[in-house]
Amino acid sequence: MLGDDYGVDHSPSYLWNSATWEISEALLPHLRSVLTGDWDSSEIIQRAVEIREGTIVNPRILSFQHRSLEYPHARG
């Protein structure tokens, strides 16, 4: 049974060289969108954005934290 806690996988810190290579390879096709800030031009980058201009845009994060969908995302 899982509670309200979550874990973070720290495997990349143990395998930093391999992780850096794989992350870089995955990011390269999207680098222009990331660097220019034109995140909406790429569906993949657009879906990866969790916070935009200080506002949480992923409703699953707000639900997990029991927060309102409306900014400033008060706890419910």
CA dist., res. 62 & res. 56, Å (int): 7
State in Å, rounded, how far the first CA of the chain is from the last one. Answer: 24
Taking alpha carbons only, the member of 76, 43, 73, 37 closest to residue 58 is: 73
- SS3 readout for 54-73: CEECCHHHHHHCCECCCCCC
> Hey, where are the domains in the chain?
11-64
Summary mean pLDDT of the chain: 86
Q: Which amino acid is at 71?
A: Y
Residue 12's pLDDT is 65
Taking a C-beta distance cutoff of 8 angstroms, is the pair 43, 37 a contact?
Answer: no
Judge whether residue 2 has pLDDT over 70: no
pTM of the model: 0.58
